[in-house]
Structure 1
Amino acid sequence: MPSLTQIRALTLVADGDGYVVGSPHTAEYVEVPPLGARIIEWLQEGVDVAECERRAAEAAGEPVDVPGFLTTLADEGLFAEAAGEGGGGDAGFRVRRRAGAALFHPLAWAVYALAALAVPVLLVAVPSLRPSYRDGFPFHTQLLNLVAVSALGIAAAALHEAAHVLAAARHGLRSRLAVTRRLYFVTFQADLTRLWSLPRRARYGPLLAGVAWDLAVLAAALLAQASLAGALGPMVVRLLRALVLLQVTALVAQLLVFMRTDAYALLVNATGCKTLWATKGALLRRYLRRATPADEEHLAGTAAGEIAWARRYLWLYVPGIALALGYFATFAVPGTLYLVRLCLAPIRTGGLGTAAAWAGLAALLIAVVPSLLALLGAARSGLRVLRTATMRRQARRPADLPL
């Protein structure tokens, strides 16, 4: 049996027809019915198990196994100890929480809203501020272009995810940053699982925080170009234009809901779906006649409303994947091959005995290796899906043969 301290540490949030109960230590969350929520509330108030069973039986009209209910919660990991996070009052987390409180105060959100209005106004009113693909090449040397644009991109992505972390910390929630990929794109990602411990309306701030900072950085870069271009110097202006191109690209990419971007997280929160991604996958495999027993079990236990949203989501997901693959074939592969040829040209001409050759080799490593790692990851995922489908077909063959 869990201790009273462990039970009182649980968070309980109304969400749709049920309640989300979770552990702030392990970031594990499960949905329970209203009666389960009432049992947890009684236990948190100090009511003993026998009295909880009596009250629950009276409410349900039949006996209720409260110890079994607690065992189920324990099996889900809700009573596990914190794993290497330190205490809730450690200095680093206190700093993040204070920073989050300042950067995502209502007044700060007003500034972000002004930035969101200023960006389209500036881009429409001042045509010279509009980004071009040429802005991705601020220098004459390919290595400098790669280093500068990569550094700007990494810094912008890190700021975006840091905004999520700080906005979550404002609510007393911890989150972690990870380097991952979406499809074949390398990216950063903040783990915002603990947002389930907040009411649905309170989740919008942390979910929108990354886009808010993207807009603020973009607005600042545009305003600096518009008002300080003469004082900043041509090199700084070129870097600002590269930053504008990156930020516009990042904001457009966030709208690609089929890649589980911030827009996807907002869609899930707005619709109240709990397993939209998994339901979409199970539904798609059913349509392709590749559904597993686990898929059918998942769909059978999923609410009709969530399945309806999964069907709508497929109308975004399938065309989105096709668009991404089309971009990959049309731009990513030819662009990468072109870049490789540019980087190898000085090596072929003078071997590795010149500075230009070493610069080309460095540019090759910086530009190509991360993309190749992401592509290998995507290829492994695709092969795993094909292997699973082949194994299922082979497993069905004996049943199809006459005996």
Structure 2
Amino acid sequence: MNLSQQSHIKLYPLTIRKDKRHYIVEDSLSGDYFEMPKICIEAINLMNKGESLEEIEKKLVATFPEEEVDMVDFTSQLIELGLVKEIDGEIVQITKENQSPASFIGISPRVGKFFFNKVTIILFIAIFFMNIFLFAMDPVLLPYYQDLFLFDTMMFNMLTFMAITLFLIFMHEFGHVLAMRSYNLPAKLSIGHRLFFVVFETDLTPAWRLEPKQRNNLYLAGMCFDQIMLFIALCIKLAFPEDNTLLTGIAGIVILDIFIKFIYQCSFYMKTDMYYLFENITGCYNVMENGKQFLSKGLPFLKTDKTTEMFDGERNIVRLYSLFYIFGILFTITLFIFYFLPQGVFALSQTLPNLLRPVGSIAFWDAVVFVGQFVLLICFLCYSWMKNR
């Protein structure tokens, strides 16, 4: 199969949408999405009209005199992306597998729109500021690490915290799912990681079919549900200020957990919800990958992604983000080495000997629960790493 200036190209069905800076191209068969500048879109349109690469190149040079145009090279890139179906009538052999999520389609879009519409968006914003107001008016509501120790027995504390955390994670991710369904889009839940933190995540890839403003709602949906849960917990604490009951204790754990997760979401040197919101607002996509490429010039050991590149006008945003990224990574690694790791080692050194205690003792079961939780997190982390590789 020879590719030359005289070649005629037939592409697979593509859907092209205008975005903030450039265009989003959707491969309808594979479910993949690509960002391309206007010159690439013009080239694709001319290919679909049946013109040769030589004819297309001449027209593009005339229309975009400031751009360097090489249609053979561009077509080679399209082949690598799996977008070319035929070259001069000869089929390009490629296996396409649809990667688009297809879960939760049983949830009616009406249910999604009940939770996410113009009225509820205003309500979510009001609840967010109400929560800030409540913290400002009564600083006692601020979380403390002692809130974790609801029971005298550590085993019950850990099991309670795990149950509450899993419930809040489910509510957060279900917020994303309902927001996707409000636009009649599918979603998928999976396990991933951010550095060495295990996370549950919702695949929002089909959101590229929407306008940038609409995508903001999807990225913030999980945090919107977090704010509702936080508001309920704060109201419980305010309703029973002196009552040290199980209900107020659970409310305290909810407040602590959401407070920590909000700080985590703001750490968008990792791919958190706020990271995707930052990308969407600036219109500078793959900013982390481009930031790594920028940093790799001075840090050659840094792993980079060769499948992406900076477009014109993105350099300043990428430079600023790359500085934030490197300081954030160093800060997290420092915390891990000098804070989390010593705590984990100390906790294991205190807990592991208890596995030799009698089976009927509380200390033995404390150790079983703690070690079980630790092993479970390690398994999730290894699974996520292997999945990415």
Q: Sort the Cα spacing of 1:379 and 1:275 in 2 relative to 1 into closer, same or farther, 3 A.
A: closer
* Counterpart AA for 2:128: A
Cα displacement string for residues 324-368 of structure 1 (whole angstroms, at most 9, x for unaligned residues): 1222123212322333244335444xx233232441232223332
Aligned position for 2:4 = none
Cα displacement string for residues 223-270 of structure 1 (whole angstroms, at most 9, x for unaligned residues): 12212567x870111011011100000011111111111121111112
Alignment partner for residue 138 of structure 1, among 150, 155, 158? 150
Aligned position for 1:361 = 367
Q: Sort the Cα spacing of 1:207 and 1:227 in 2 relative to 1 into closer, same or farther, 3 A.
A: same
Is residue 2:248 matched to residue 1:237?
A: yes
The alpha carbon displacement at 1:303 in A equals: 2.6
The alpha carbon displacement at 1:95 in A equals: 1.4
1:153-172 map, 5 Å: 153-172=165-184
Aligned position for 1:392 = none
Conservation of the 8 A alpha-carbon contact between 2:17 and 2:23: yes
Q: Sort the Cα spacing of 1:329 and 1:144 in 2 relative to 1 into closer, same or farther, 3 A.
A: same
Is residue 2:233 matched to residue 1:221?
A: yes
CA distance in 2, matches of 1:130, 1:191: 32
The alpha carbon displacement at 1:169 in A equals: 2.3
CA distance in 2, matches of 1:85, 1:275: 20
* Counterpart AA for 1:23: D
Which one has the bigger helix percentage?
1
CA distance in 2, matches of 1:184, 1:355: 33
Is residue 2:25 matched to residue 1:21?
A: yes
The alpha carbon displacement at 1:286 in A equals: 0.9
The alpha carbon displacement at 1:305 in A equals: 2.9
Cα displacement string for residues 143-167 of structure 1 (whole angstroms, at most 9, x for unaligned residues): 1111110111112122212212221
Aligned position for 1:276 = 287
Alpha carbon RMSD of aligned pairs, Å? 3.9
CA distance in 1, matches of 2:307, 2:76: 22
Alignment partner for residue 76 of structure 1, among 61, 68, 81? 81
The alpha carbon displacement at 1:204 in A equals: 0.6
Is residue 2:337 matched to residue 1:325?
A: no
Q: Sort the Cα spacing of 1:215 and 1:148 in 2 relative to 1 into closer, same or farther, 3 A.
A: same
Deviates more, 1:330-339 or 1:150-159: 330-339
TM-score by length of 2: 0.79
The alpha carbon displacement at 1:58 in A equals: 9.4
Conservation of the 8 A alpha-carbon contact between 2:100 and 2:206: no
TM-score by length of 1: 0.76
Report the number of matched residues. Answer: 364
Aligned position for 1:264 = 275
CA distance in 1, matches of 2:329, 2:57: 50
The alpha carbon displacement at 1:94 in A equals: 4.5
CA distance in 1, matches of 2:27, 2:178: 20
CA distance in 2, matches of 1:237, 1:302: 50
Q: Provide structure 2 residue ranges, at least 5 long, that are not aligned to the other structure.
A: 1-8, 64-68, 86-95
1:309-324 map, 5 Å: 309-324=317-332
Q: Sort the Cα spacing of 1:65 and 1:96 in 2 relative to 1 into closer, same or farther, 3 A.
A: farther
Aligned position for 1:335 = 343
1:7-86 map, 5 Å: 7=13, 10-23=14-27, 26-34=30-38, 36-37=40-41, 49-50=49-50, 60=60, 76-77=81-82, 80=96, 82=98
Is residue 2:196 matched to residue 1:184?
A: yes
Q: Provide structure 1 residue ranges, at least 5 long, that are not aligned to the other structure.
A: 385-403
